[in-house]
Amino acid sequence: MSTVTKLLLPLALVAALSACSEQAGTPAPAAADAPPAAAADAQPAKAVDVASGTYTLDPTHTDVLVQWNHLGFSNPSAHFGQADGTLVYDAADVTKSHVEVTLPLSGLNSFTAKFDEHLRSADFFDAATFPSATFKSTKVEAAGTNRLTVTGDLTVKGVTRPVVLDVTVNGAGEHPMAKVPSVGFDATTTLKRSDFGMGGYAPAVSDELRVRITTEASIPKAG
């Protein structure tokens, strides 16, 4: 028997055994992308039941965060706290709801004192002349389960522009400590600071601002 034949015989034997195994019906491995059974049983989100009434914003649990791009290197942010506002919610007809919020610039915090001074200067907010920003809704619409679209007028530095907020209702019910009807929301939008006369350093510092809002509000106790 030649050397070549001696080498080929083991390879032929392996091939034959593999073929027999396949013909015997060896089970194929399960598909890696088969969806889990739990996904098929997923239930739709339950609608949050928000009581009708006039709610007062809780400034200690309300935050407006703005974020921008700096020179393509980083995405710093600043917070606006100390919000004062009211929400009138109509559960029977959400289009009759409306909200008004005032944001004092004294609550501006970028966590860098020197930068806060610059933001409050005439280069940006000119807080000495315009000490607060305001938002007043002009339209509230349902946008799906626990979602709203709130259109309104934002006034910053004496300039008023329309803004659309995409709102999520986080939860509602009796506040466990205050024992009053309460509700919580998150909202997002994007703005151009140049629309409000604050376009300095663009485009190196992005003109577009990403805005995220979280808030809680409660119906005050009578008396």
CATH of the domain at 74: 2.40.128.110
- Of 204, 208, 206, 203, the residue nearest 191 (C-alpha): 208
The answer to the question of residue 21 being in a domain is no
pLDDT of residue 222: 82
**Rounded to an integer, what is the distance from CA 186 to the centroid of its chain?**
6
- Confirm whether 36 is domain-assigned: no
Residue 41 pLDDT class (50, 70, 90 cuts)? low
Is 203 inside any structural domain?
yes
Q: What percent of the chain has pLDDT over 90?
A: 78
Domain count, the chain: 1
Domain presence at residue 5: no
Asked if the structure places residue 144 within a domain, the reply is: yes
Instruction: Supply 111's token pair.
Output: 């966590």
Q: Is residue 33 part of a domain?
A: no
Tokens of 93: 């007809």
- Name beta bridge partners: 109: 79
Q: Is the pLDDT of residue 152 over 60?
A: yes
pTM for this structure? Answer: 0.79
In contact, 102 and 132? CB cutoff 8 Å: yes
Adjacent-strand bridge partners of 40: none
User: Does a structural domain hold residue 140?
Assistant: yes
Token readout for 181 is 């009807």
Region of 60 please: left (phi>0), alpha (psi -120 to 50) or beta: alpha
Q: Are 130 and 156 in contact (CB under 8 A)?
A: yes
Q: Tell me the sheet residues that pair with 108.
A: 80
Cβ(199)–Cβ(208) below 8 Å? no
Chain position carrying tokens 């522009």: 161
- The residue segments making up the domain with residue 192 are 53-218
